[in-house]
Structure 1
Amino acid sequence: MSTIIYTRTDEAPLLATYSLKPIIEAFAGAAGIDVETRDISLAGRIIALFPERLTPEQQQPDDLAELGAMATTPEANIIKLPNISASVPQLKAAIAELQAQGYDIPAYPEAPGSDEEREARARYDTVKGSAVNPVLREGNSDRRAPEAVKNYARSSPHSMGTWNSDSRTRVATMDGRDFAANEKSVVLEAADTLSIRHVAEDGTQTVLKDAVPVLAGEVVDATFMDVAALETFLAEQIRAATDDDVLLSLHLKATMMKVSDPIIFGHAVRTFFADVFARYGEQLASAGLSANDGLGGILSGLDALGDDAAQVRAAFEERLAQLPRLYMVNSDKGISNLHVPSDVIIDASMPAVIRNGGKAWGPEGEEDDTLAVIPDSSYAGVYQAVIEDCRAHGAYDPTTMGSVPNVGLMAKKAEEYGSHDKTFEIAAAGTVQVVDAAGQVLLEHQVAAGDIWRACQTKDEPIRDWVKLAVTRARATGDPAIFWLDEARAHDAVLITKVRSYLGEHDTEGLDLRIMSPVEATRVSVERIREGKDTISVTGNVLRDYNTDLFPILEVGTSAKMLSVVPLMNGGGLFETGAGGSAPKHVQQLQQENYLRWDSLGEFLALAESLRHLAEREGNHRATVLGDALDAATERVLTEGRSPARRLGQIDNRGSHFFLALYWAQALAEQAADAELAQRFEPVAATLAAQQEQITAELMAVQGSPVDLGGYFHPDDELAFAAMRPSATFNAVIDALRG
């Protein structure tokens, strides 16, 4: 029997899975396809860390490790839904929930003081941030808007804000002494094992990382951010936002850059509240309250200060009331840009500002221009270039604009800046060195206490595969493909040499292949967008993350509607369900109103590609029929307005799943490629059509009341299934088809 692995993840995608996966199982089973589940949720990964502390009933296998091994095999066929890239506050909340459910797991040790706490901290560190994707991504990324999605955006355009030529929205970024400016890069001639060490000014050596295996041809980079320069820069932006009377917004990636960006975030919190930390910093630290966790974490923990709590809270509130006004995550609840490090993620927040005419939300619920602070200058210019284009030419028109699909370098943990164990907050002034096995210093930087130093690796095989994928997409589409590489940056300069070499391995006759800096590439791409033309962006890993949110949000309204295929280098397939995160606000709405507005369109698109991959690899003709019929059903969901609405009284995620099943069954019943399959689904289609009114009534009848899921990070399966499958009539049809 053929097998597809469907991942259990977190928040809204997890809740949608309770409704959608039974439908997938029912339809796939008709083609002899088994749909299995693997749990890579944050809660599941935490539980797998501590088997020795749990009862046999509570224990879970390490499904992520299993899938990581599977991704290196030709048989892999994995559908990967969005998961939580956990910040420390999220991790702590998940731990607390599991403890309340009876799981004997340790608390997260903020400052480990014993071997047991250090061991627990080391285990927890493996699930922080973007811990899932690097394990599964054994191939490079091909992300694009499917034709049906693009056509729908043209015929039913999403709202776009109005840009004015006098908009004061702009990007502020460091002009030196940051990660971009300090970068150094080297290519390894032979396989080796490197180490990273810190040499203090008195000659004391401390090993920061004792073994970094590398392969021949591998690119190794190192860089650091000067935090004294960072703090000066942040203070300047606070003054600038005050002088310009615009909102101050900080845009980071505290999930993917799980070590560096929370530290940068902490510097922003301390700089904004400098007077408060000058007066009460010692008390806050003694209570375990860290600026890196955000203002929200500090305010929620102030009771630990006892009698001083009220005056410290008043000091924070007094500063918040002063200019500059902060960009707000939720102005009604007083949640600012500085409350939680994972609340404002650059690849989602900057496109949202641009789509909204350069406007962000202020503390009184007002819309206003914003000074968008992006400390590291590596890719800040991309957003500034789009802002300048919009200021000059107005908002983009979804009915006519072109597209910017992406080919992204990410295989084998390529360029995972900040998401790994090679990022350090430097304890003392000195030198950080990358050293080979023979003791030769390959890279080094002079650093001060508190500086943020990091290294990353990019193996040669993924680079070669990335170039091949770019040529393949350019040949398939006839569109220009631009490698977004800046020869002024050390890492990019090395990649440019490799790209030029590997392009020589392919037939590029007649193809428009270019190498341009990210800012230049952005300008060309947005100019072509306005002409209705498509331009393939061929980027490194971080820009892949940014671009596959930026352009889709402008083009089709959301990055969740992107087709995201990862052709695994050993022949398997990984099918991601689009970007867009795991939508915590959607879960809150379900809990309060029993209404889930998560759109599973990404899951529909990924499943169709997964079925086609399976058909090609295993010769399963019926998988092709299923995939084609699913695409037809998906297009009907879009064109007939069956996607989830935002508010009560209309169909939500569960309703869209019913209509997908109806249209899918109808498409199968009407197709001529497989008479037996058509005969099987004909009565299903007829039954669902006849019972449409009853089923939709049952689905909508539950709306409006709170629902208990038994947990947020780790819901009770029985309660969640009941909440997400409320139509007994629909369930009977699907369960009968499942057999």
Structure 2
Amino acid sequence: MSTTPDIVYTTVDEAPELASASLLPIVRRFALAAGISIDTKDISLAGRILAAFTDHPDDLAWLGDWVKTPEANVIKLPNISASVPQLDAAIKELQAQGFDIPDYPYDPQTDAEKAARAKYDTIKGSAVNPVLREGNSDRRAAPAVKKFAQNNPHRMGDWSSDSKTRVASMEDGDFFSNEASATLDGAATARIVLETANGETVLKDGVSYPAGTVVDATYMSADKLDAFLMDEIEKTKADGTLFSLHMKATMMKVSDPIIFGHAVKAWLKPVFDKHGAKLDELGVDPNGGLGALLAKVEGHDEIMADIEAVRAERPPMYMVNSDKGITNLHVPSDVIIDASMPALIRDGGKGWGADNGQHDTTCVIPDSSYAPVYDETIKFFKENGKLDPATAGTVQNIGLMAQKAEEYGSHPTTFEIPEAGTVKMVLEDGTVLHSHTVGKGDIWRAASARKAPIEDWVNLAIDRQRATGYRAIFWLDENRAHDRELIAYVKPILEAKGVADKFEIMAPREATRASLETITKGDSTIAITGNVLRDYLTDLFPILELATSAKMLSIVKLMQGGGLFETGAGGSAPKHVQQLVEQNHLRWDSLGEFCALAESFKFFGEARDNARARILGEAVETATQGILDHDRSPSRKVGEPDNRDSHYWFARYWAEALASQSDDTDLAAEFKPIAAALAENEDKIVSELAAAQGQPAEIGGYYHPDADKRAAVMRPSSTLNEIIG
């Protein structure tokens, strides 16, 4: 391991990390030809836990410093953004492996428990991305991927104009309706206080902002949330649809688990009303989900009977896994809105019920800030029918996310209010920047976006529009407090650059319809959005266009000159791991990784004036095209080619591209024997890979697998291994 690597591959979790055990040795061998060193840094959930409590190196902190340098070049695979149940499971696995780490303190009392809880709270949720994303996002489908999707359109569910599927959101009392926003004239430090009849409590002190920062504050009323949830449960029952809650308890790691807990309590309200004291005694935390609740009350027959009685009276629920009885409310991280809503829309507005059939669904998205995107999408397809992937254009995205822009619902400045009063954000000179009257249990949050990232975001959008000529839309609502502040930045920059006529500004609902109309005609558009919409739209449109968001090209141009290359989404990774363990078949598709790899090599070539790196990157693109043209992507079924087969073909196409290029004859000579060996041994390699399938695979752990066992499972072809070296 070099201390100053040329390229860093992240060590992550689940299926992407299993796939990396097969692909990374290939990448390292090819990179050697250009003198490029490839290091790994551990940002997995297990790695972050061990870094907090043992002498395991803190690789996330190292990367956080490195991405602020011009030399940074990171290939970032999808990692777990842990909910509390996932964090708890990882802790127990590590403890079973012999690591001396504390339990997760649900109700910390001692100083040691409070210290442990503070460390764990920095690990859960979207703890990695804000550290690494020191630049704004440029996400789009690579041309080869888009072309393949058009030539091989995926199945889309049929939409009916009389579909009962709908989106339900709060009309009052939510984050959208209570938002206040201001742009700071100068640098400032703020404290957040709660004033009550019993005095003042400092919720957070020393929150520093540079000049020009847009600072927001808002809250969600707990009482109005509860009333909304109860009302929607009854409406869903009357409609005869499935009840589903769509949140992001990973990215919104403080606010959304609380909202999720309100939904669990609303669903089982009679049970909580009758058995509240006993449930408290048993340590039930509704924020952890219905699954954890059922485990806590197992053996308490009266409570279980009352739960079953209530469930019988409720509308049917959207299921995560109907075969195993896992409902929408079982685990807060099981239903992630940016994956669940596009999948439901792709399937014609149908969700899976307990009967293992698909039904119209009530999609409950409590906060109305971005719910209109999904609401308008559903209305558009009811009116116009399903999208045709064979003829559809594409929606690219330029997303504001640098320096933790718009990190809504994250830990440091989000609070569940313990007592009714007034929350104030007070600057050091005594100015009250924001003030809200709140009730007990309300969820108050603050977020910010700094001037430099905002300006960089606008300029990145200008560059992208100039490069493509596409219709370009800023998804900003002048009726929303935060968006008005951003618009005040956007318009002067566009005017100063003389490109104001090339851009439109629309609220999310109107921008959604405009974008759908555009791609339905076969044209393309650029969605220029804030951080949350970046997250949502770069799943919504790719899932409609390509069937998956895992194949997206995601480039983060770091503000200090480096590059971060992300490899796609990991939302289905848990099911992939389960299949591997049971059947030794990994259906994870590394196509997004191939796309990121090409960009990383080309970026390195330009930044370091390394011609061979550029050739490697161009050859990766050729190999990726070969994977698509010859249908070498993994199959979902055991006994058919899987992820390891696709890596063999990728290595072969990559070697053949390098052997046949004429820009560097020495490089061609180096790879000709490798290409020949891979071709000549095709039958043997494919047979060795196929022989590994069909029986259970032992990897030594889910969150912290054994490296040797994982390598043995993921590199079962001795012939391929010998050729690669």
Q: Which of the five TM-score ranges fits, normalised by the shorter chain?
A: over 0.9
Separation in 1 of the partners of 2:586 and 2:295?
28
* 1:208 corresponding residue in structure 2: 203
Three-state SS of the structure 1 residue aligned to 2:623 is helix
- For 2:212, what is the secondary structure of its paired residue? coil
Query: What is the TM-score normalised by the length of structure 1?
Result: 0.97
Q: Among residues 76, 81, 97, which one is paired with 1:80 in the alignment?
A: 76
Match of 2:549 among 559, 562, 584: 559
1:692 to 2:695 alignment? no
Conserved? CA contact 2:215–2:447, under 8 Å: yes
Matched, 1:148 2:144: yes
When residues 582 and 84 of structure 1 are mapped into structure 2, their CA distance, relative to the original with a 3 A threshold, is farther
1:578 lines up with 2:568 in the alignment: yes
1:252 to 247, 255, 275: 247
C-alpha contact 1:11 1:582 (8 A) present in aligned 2: no
> What do residues 147-189 of structure 1 show as CA deviations (whole Å, max 9, x unaligned)?
1000000111111000111111010111111000000011111
User: Within the alignment, does 1:278 sit opposite 2:269 as a pair?
Assistant: no
2:495 corresponds to 1:500: no
Post-superposition Cα deviations, 1:389-425, rounded to whole Å, max 9, x if no partner, equal 1001100000000111000000000000012310000
Is the Cα–Cα contact under 8 Å of residues 10 and 582 in structure 1 kept in the other structure? no
Alignment of 1:63-74 (within 5 A): 63-74=59-70
Kindly state the Cα deviation for residue 320 of structure 1 after the two structures are TM-superposed. 2.5
Cα drift, residue 322 of structure 1: 3.1
Please show how residues 487-526 of structure 1 align to structure 2 within 5 Å.
487-508=478-499, 512-526=502-516
Out of 184, 188, 193, which is 1:192 matched to? 188
Q: Calculate the TM-score normalised by the size of structure 2.
A: 0.99
| SS in structure 2 of the partner of residue 329 of structure 1 | strand
Give the AA of the match of 1:593.
Q
Deviation at 1:318, TM superposition (A): 2.9
Alignment partner, residue 360 of structure 1: 351
Equivalent residues of 1:361, 1:368 under 8 A apart: yes
CA contact (8 A) 2:349 2:378 kept: yes
Return the letter of the residue paired with 2:594. Answer: F
For residue 369 of structure 2, the aligned residue among 359, 378, 386 is 378
Structure 1 equivalent of residue 432 of structure 2: 441
CA–CA distance in structure 1, aligned partners of residues 455 and 710 of structure 2: 45
Please tell me whether the aligned partners of residues 482 and 536 of structure 1 are also in contact (alpha carbons under 8 angstroms).
yes
Q: In structure 2, how many angstroms separate the alpha carbons of the residues matched to 1:506 and 1:684? A: 51
Give 1:114's aligned amino acid. T
- Aligned counterpart, 2:18: 15
Q: Which runs of 5+ in 1 are unaligned?
A: 52-58
Tell me what 1:56 maps to.
none
Q: CA offsets, 1:364-390, max 9 Å, x none?
A: 111100010000000101111111110
Question: How far apart, in 1, do the equivalents of 2:338 and 2:202 lie?
Answer: 34
Residues 290-689 of structure 1 mapped to structure 2, 5 A cutoff? 290-303=285-298, 309-508=300-499, 512-581=502-571, 583-689=573-679
The Cα offsets for residues 97-148 of structure 1, whole Å up to 9 and x where unpaired, read as 0000000000000010011100000000001100000000000000000110
**What root-mean-square deviation, in Å, do the aligned CA atoms of Structure 1 and Structure 2 show?**
1.0
Question: Using the alignment, how far apart are the partners of 1:602 and 1:297 within structure 2?
Answer: 34
Equivalent AA in structure 2 for residue 345 of structure 1: I
Q: Secondary structure at the match of 1:709?
A: coil
SS at match of 2:313: coil
Deviation sequence 1:418-465 (CA, Å, 0-9, x none) = 123100000000000000011221100000000000000110000000
Instruction: Give the counterpart letter for 1:176 in structure 2.
Output: D
Q: Which residue of 2 aligns with 1:130?
A: 126
Deviation of 1:580 after TM superposition, in Å, equals 3.9
Q: Secondary structure at the match of 1:711?
A: coil
Find the aligned partners of 2:680 and 2:302 in 1 and give their Cα distance. Answer: 65
Any conservation in 1 of the 2:16–2:570 contact (CA below 8 Å)? no
* Selected match of 1:265 from 249, 260, 263: 260
Is the contact between residue 81 and residue 577 of structure 1 (CA under 8 Å) also seen in structure 2?
A: yes
| Distance in 2 between residues matched to 1:268 and 1:619, nearest whole Å | 55
- Residues in 2 aligned to 1:724 and 1:310: alpha-carbon distance in whole angstroms: 46
Tell me the CA shift for residue 708 of structure 1.
1.2
* Conservation of the 8 A alpha-carbon contact between 1:209 and 1:422: yes
Deviations 1:646-674 (A, max 9, x none): 01111111110000001111111111111
Q: Does 1:182 align with 2:178?
A: yes
Runs of at least 4 residues off by over 4 Å: none
CA distance, structure 2, for counterparts of residue 236 and residue 365 of structure 1: 26
| Equivalenced residues, count | 722
Contact 1:81 1:603 in 2 (8 A): yes
Other-structure match for 1:27 = 30
Q: Distance in 1 between matches of 2:488 and 2:706?
A: 53
Once the two structures are TM-superposed, the CA of residue 201 in structure 1 deviates from its matched residue by 2.9
